[in-house]
A and B are shown apart, each in its own frame.
Chain A
Amino acid sequence: MTMQRLSGWGRTAWTVADVIATTDENQIRSMLSSVGDRGVIARGLGRSYGAAAQNAGGTVLEMTSEHDPLGVDAVLDPISGILDVAASVSLDSILRMCVPRGWFVPVTPGTRFVTVGGAIASDVHGKNHHIDGSFGVHVRSMMVMLSSGEIVELSPESQPAWFWATVGGMGLTGIVLRASLQMLRIESSKVRVETERLGNFDAVCEAMSGDGEDDSYRYSVCWVDLLATGSSMGRGVLTRGDHATAAEAEGDDPLAYDPRLKVSAPGWVPNGLLNKFSIKAFNEAWYRKAPSQRHIGIESIPAFFHPLDGVNKWNRLYGTQGFIQYQFIVPLDRTDVLRKVIETFSAAGVASFLAVLKRMGPQNLAPMSFPTEGWTLTLDMAAGIKGLAELLASVDAMVLDAGGRHYLAKDSHVSPSAVRRGYPRLDDWMTTQEAMDPRGVWRSDLSRRLGLVDPRRNP
């Protein structure tokens, strides 16, 4: 028994669980046979922002292999680009192994410090969602341990219902042990990036719309200044690009890859360091730093995909109070709601250090997968802001009324009814979940808050 206090990456809503660190199948199986009635959840690198990978009073199975003395448990087929990898391996390890061999992960979120298991459970997406979809659609098959201890192989062909319930299933259908991923061929470790400044929100939405040239870029995302008001409200810096060819990358070894961490955030950051004023100053500088005319440059993978990973433990920048990451999606024709949400936060004086807008492509087959065709806006804010619960509730209602939904991997506050309204296939998923886990062993603080697993089922 190692009782440990856990939170998500946002450092809010801490709870205590018995943490068992293992990736050993037999050990997991024996733990499952004697599990208490507060259940089990698997945890990877703890990058989900809310309470998805913690389990108050229950068991948390910590499955990471960052320091595995045997190296990275992954096999890459150099012809097909299929990677057979343990779920505890991080995208960081995969990139270190595969980029020099000319293969890139099919989808990467804003951090490479997520495990394959976590990426599947959250069905993560990246800057290429409008072209390539989310992580789950690149999984060819996976080995999943059910709560009975049985290991099943799931694929979209052989077990579609169970496969898609596990994709985006927040770890509540079973423990992903291994997965086969289709990697993406690259010629270089560089990205050709086009950067342009857009003076207001209309310009941002227009540039990113599907009618324009946005679909000709594999990667596209826009940083938005939520504090700008008046005619420059919603101004942004749009960055789009694709993997550079060997010729574009130049240099002796176009596939050379060096993702070393640069600095660490100190542990003593005071609450309130990131406030309206400091963020306003940052936003102004960030906007001005971007070239006023469209500019084409060559960037490294970490600089383009994982800028925040350059600062180790950046989540401490909000101090001990922690922070909320708010990500929602609304249908393509509801840019009015995006505008209303931005105005609401701005009027309430909520400053967001990182606000990112992206147009997403079509939804996949997973009932609980977040992305649907539409606009997704992501912003973060200090958790200690006065009146935040009321403010978020009003924004939640705008999102849901517009037919939108919230991303569970980021969520730390929505109500059970918000999930019910936002995810119309919730009942389908719950039926499959119950078939896969009749005893209701898989539990997390997230599932408890949102009622994703019927509390009356007893492990």
Chain B
Amino acid sequence: MKNGVGVAQNIVLFGGTSEIGQSILRRIVKPGVSRLVLVSRDIDAASRVSQDLVDRHPELDVHHVRYEASDAASMEHVVAEVADSIGDIDIAVVAQGLLNENVDYYASPSALIDVVNVNMTGEMVLLYALASRMRTQGYGKIVVLSSVAGERVRRGNPVYGATKAGVDGFALALDHELAGSGASVLVVRPGFVTTKMTTGMKKAPFSTNPEVVAQIVEKGISSDKKIVWAPAPLHWMFLILKNLPIAIWRRLPI
């Protein structure tokens, strides 16, 4: 159960090894949090990256659940397993995602299918399963890690951008569906975040790091916001980028 000072008792992270996800946990795990579930493909890796957090909060009851982010059919079951281990889900951070930058999708269509399965199909089914659970609970917050890449899909990685565009729109509409249920969705739109996912990539303007994203998410959770941008000025930048005529958009060096 969440408490009166905005602390959630039970928190779940989907994509347990995600750097942004872990940074968010480091911000929202405070005195009052009792149970944490890390849902990941690789339990060993998830426990490694969360070790410092667990050390700092010895009172925390940590659970691990294994899942395959691309396996949409299993999501219902995964969420049930999480709920069986901790009860109500106060905050679910959905940070699963596949970037697959520099992959030649012409040569390997299966890579495209992987991205769509993780970022969209699997995630949408997961979001529905969480939404249905939280509707029954009468409260709960789903934090969806979207991306500015979905705001205007660019060449270079159109697959990633398109999946983010899809899941972003889906998550916002899901929040609309949940209106009045006590449950809600927070869509997080980070720009370029320096993580292992983006190592070696050219930094974009307003690039940021997981700590900044986490700080913005923490504030977003305690407000009634539906969307947060990380960093905030990206909101205005994309308002412009989104509305540029195609001819100009295509000339931009991005």
Contacts and interface: CB of A to CB of B under 8 A. Distances in A.
Interface of A: 3, 5, 8, 10, 12-17, 38, 49-51, 55-58, 322, 324, 383-384, 388-390, 392-393, 412-413, 415-417, 445, 448-449, 455
Contacts of B135: 57
Contact of B3 (A56, A412, A417, A455): A412
Contacts of A3: 180-181
Counting chain B residues whose Cβ lies within 8 A of the other chain, the interface size class is: 20 to 34
Given A322-B4, A415-B34, A16 B9 contact: no
Interface in B47-96: 59, 87-88
B138 A16 contact: yes
B160 interface: no
A393 B1 CA distance: 17
29 contacts: A15-B139, A16-B180, A16-B181, A16-B182, A17-B138, A51-B1, A56-B1, A56-B88, A57-B138, A57-B182, A58-B138, A383-B6, A384-B222, A389-B5, A389-B6, A389-B30, A389-B32, A390-B31, A392-B5, A393-B30, A393-B31, A412-B3, A412-B4, A413-B5, A413-B7, A415-B32, A445-B1, A448-B1, A449-B9
Taking chain A's interface residues, is the majority helix, strand, or loop, or is none over half, making it mixed?
loop
B137 A449 contact: no
Contacts of B6: 12, 383, 389
Contacts of A16: 138-139, 180-182
Nearest to B136: A57
A50 B4 contact: yes
B4 A13 contact: yes
Nearest to A449: B1
A393 B32 contact: yes
Nearest to B133: A57
A15 B2 CA distance: 9
A5 B180 CA distance: 8
Nearest to B3: A413
Given A51-B3, A393-B32, 7 more contacts: A5-B180, A57-B135, A57-B139, A388-B5, A393-B31, A412-B3, A415-B34
B50 to A, nearest CB: 20
A214 to B, nearest CB: 33
Interface pairs A-B: 7 shortest CB-CB: A412-B4, A16-B182, A57-B138, A393-B31, A56-B138, A12-B4, A449-B1
B182 A413 contact: no
Contacts of A413: 3-5, 7, 32
A84 to B, nearest CB: 36
Contacts of B4: 8, 10, 12-13, 49-51, 322, 324, 383, 412-413
B56 to A, nearest CB: 12
B2 A13 contact: yes
A448 B5 contact: no
Most A Cβ at <10 Å: residue of B1, B136, B180, B181: B1
Contacts of A415: 31-32, 34
Interface in B101-152: 135-139
Contacts of A390: 30-31
B141 to A, nearest CB: 12
Nearest to A446: B1
B4 to A, nearest CB: 3
A68 B83 CA distance: 43
Nearest to A417: B59
Contacts of A445: 1
Which of A56, A324, A393, A416 has the most chain B CB atoms closer than 10 A to its own CB? A56
Interface in B153-183: 180-182
Q: Which of B5, B9, B34 has the most CB of A within 10 A?
A: B5
B7 A389 contact: yes
B28 to A, nearest CB: 10
